[in-house]
Chains A and B, each alone.
Chain A
Amino acid sequence: MSIFIISSDAREIEESIAEKVTEAMGYKLLDRGILAEVAAKYQIEPDKLNEALKTTPSLFNKLSSRQWRHHLACLEAEVLETLMADNIVCQGLAAHLYVTGVSHAMKVRVLSGNRKGIQGVAEKKGISLQKAEKWRASELLHRKKWSLAAYNYDETDLTRYDLVINLDQIDPVEAVKTITGAAEYRKFQVMTYSLKCLSDLALAAKVNGVLLQSMADVKVQARDGSVVVLTKASNRQKRKKIETIKALAGGVEGVTYVEVHVKKNILGEMD
């Protein structure tokens, strides 16, 4: 077992459980401490990177849709690259939404529980239980919307996780023991296939980040250094867009071949 990705419906629970699992396992913790490094590396304003993890693009916030996707892609690339090393606990970086198909990454969802979760919110914010319940419901809805907009993945869908723990029923100490105990499962051991899946995801995210600097509407898949980019363009723009994508993606370290698939952009034709 080499990667635990811990998420929760409550940020403080996510942080606290991840820290305890890290300590118990003697692993490295990958958390929001990486944001400053990512911002510096990709020349993004730290506030905007933070903002990208919390909000979706709208008329009222600072980020355009393309910038938002770009910032998330840069973060994703850095997180995936870091996860290539063994023995890591990851939290707070939305990795549960984009680390997909990697068999040695165990996704753990810790539910704050109805009773304890609402009590926790009421105490922290100094509000009534009724108000805390309303605040929590709206927060969950916001996170669901964010996860769907960012990764087309509903983070409240519990079938997407390998292990789900409800803190209404299981104490945090027992939850940590359950998670660390799961490290023994052979099913989650590192294998050549899962490492390759992870490196393919990392390469796709890197290329995506590079392309999103100058264009929107791109989807990238990678396998063994070969990259397939799906995009949209009008007939007039098609050739130039393919050339640009091939040049940009081909310049990313690790890319050996680029294929571009263009879907006709009807709106572009009307320009």
Chain B
Amino acid sequence: MTKPLEVLLLDDEPIVGRRLKPALDKIGCRVEVFQNPKEAVARIEQKEFDIVVTDIRMEEMDGIQVLEYVQKTWPRTKVIMITGYAKVDLAREAMGKGVFDFIAKPFKPDDLRRIIFRAAEALGSPIDSSLLNDEPVAQ
């Protein structure tokens, strides 16, 4: 049996974690959900996740800072950014800093799963793509 993909999901809106965790569990990811970026960063310090999915706009610490922290601590980890305030400049800034992908809210869980599939492939641990099927939009 292949090792499950370790995913940290950070968004200060609780509903995002509630919606996305089951969607990622279904494709065999082991997901830890955080709403507080400082607590997420403390966890990242303890554990190397394969993938970090983070919101950008948050109190105390923004997603770009989380990205920089992950890159410094675990360079192999893929970071995916999700935001409700997507703009071309922000997307380019995130991409320039080495984010794996960038997606605007609202999106369907399958949109995120597609990115997770690509990230898993890039990490050398591909997931079975037949597990994709569209579900309602995550706000």
Q: Mark A183-208, 1 if CB is under 8 A from B, else 0.
A: 00111110111101100000000000
Contact for A192 among B93, B96, B98, B111, CB less than 8 A: B111
Nearest-CB distance from B24 to chain A (Å)? 16
A193–B104 CB distance below 8 A: yes
B96–A191 CB distance below 8 A: no
A103 at the interface (CB under 8 A from B): yes
With A103-B91, A192-B103, A193-B91 as given contacts, are A186 and B98 in contact (CB-CB < 8 Å)?
yes
Count of inter-chain pairs, beta carbons less than 8 A: 42
Q: Which residues of chain B are within 8 angstroms of A224 by Cβ–Cβ distance?
A: 106, 137
In Å, the complex CA distance between A7 and B95 comes to 25
Nearest-CB distance from A223 to chain B (Å)? 9
A262 at the interface (CB under 8 A from B): no
B104–A196 CB distance below 8 A: yes
Nearest-CB distance from B28 to chain A (Å)? 21
Contact for B86 among A187, A188, A189, A193, CB less than 8 A: A193
Q: Mark B79-109, 1 if CB is under 8 A from A, else 0.
A: 0000000111001110110100111101000
Q: Which residues of chain B are within 8 angstroms of A188 by Cβ–Cβ distance?
A: 92, 95
A185–B102 CB distance below 8 A: no
A102 at the interface (CB under 8 A from B): yes
Contact for A191 among B87, B91, B106, B137, CB less than 8 A: B91
In Å, the complex CA distance between A102 and B102 comes to 13
A126 at the interface (CB under 8 A from B): no
B92–A193 CB distance below 8 A: no
Q: Which residues of chain A are within 8 angstroms of B114 by Cβ–Cβ distance?
A: 192
Q: Which residues of chain B are within 8 angstroms of A181 by Cβ–Cβ distance?
A: none
Contact for B88 among A101, A185, A186, CB less than 8 A: A101
With A101-B88, A102-B88, A103-B88 as given contacts, are A189 and B95 in contact (CB-CB < 8 Å)?
yes
A187–B96 CB distance below 8 A: yes
B95–A186 CB distance below 8 A: yes
Q: Which residues of A contact B (CB under 8 A)?
A: 101-103, 185-189, 191-194, 196-197, 224
Residue pairs across A and B with Cβ atoms less than 8 A apart, 7 shown, are: A103-B95, A186-B95, A191-B95, A192-B101, A193-B91, A194-B91, A194-B102
A189-B95, A193-B103 are known; give 11 further A-B pairs, CB within 8 A. Answer: A103-B91, A186-B96, A187-B93, A187-B96, A188-B92, A191-B95, A192-B101, A192-B102, A192-B111, A193-B104, A197-B88
